[in-house]
Amino acid sequence: MDRKEIFGRIEQVLSEQLGIPAEQITEEADLREDLGMDSLDLVELVSALEDEVGMRVEQNQLEGIETVGHVITLTLDLVAQLTTASAAEKPESAS
């Protein structure tokens, strides 16, 4: 998954979850101020992200998450961790 794919998925989730037009959702949009999210909305977004990447998001990873761009960066970090963990588990192939 790249940044554009993740943004598209987050845009879709937020649009459906908050009932706002996708055009209103930008990387710079503040989750609380611009999109009107509350703590329950954030929990629902995190749950959708966990389902998307197949990893649990820890509470401390949410510190400092204020914008859609922050959510995208967090998701990219989770995907990178998952990819690294998967690569470490694969046995080396014999040549």
**pLDDT (tens digit, 9 = 90+) per residue, 25-63?**
999 999 999 999 998 999 899 898 888 888 888 889 888
Which listed residue (38, 41, 51, 77) is catalytic? 38
- How far apart CA 83 and CA 89 sit, in angstroms, is 10
- How far apart CA 13 and CA 63 sit, in angstroms, is 21
Q: What backbone phi and psi angles, to 5 degrees, belong to 67?
A: -125, 165
Any idea which architecture 3-85 has in CATH?
Orthogonal Bundle (1.10)
Active site includes 38? yes
**pLDDT (tens digit, 9 = 90+) per residue, 13-33?**
999 999 999 999 999 999 999
All structural domains of the chain with their residue ranges: 3-85
> Could you tell me the pTM of the whole model?
0.84
The pLDDT score that the predictor gives to residue 23 is: 92
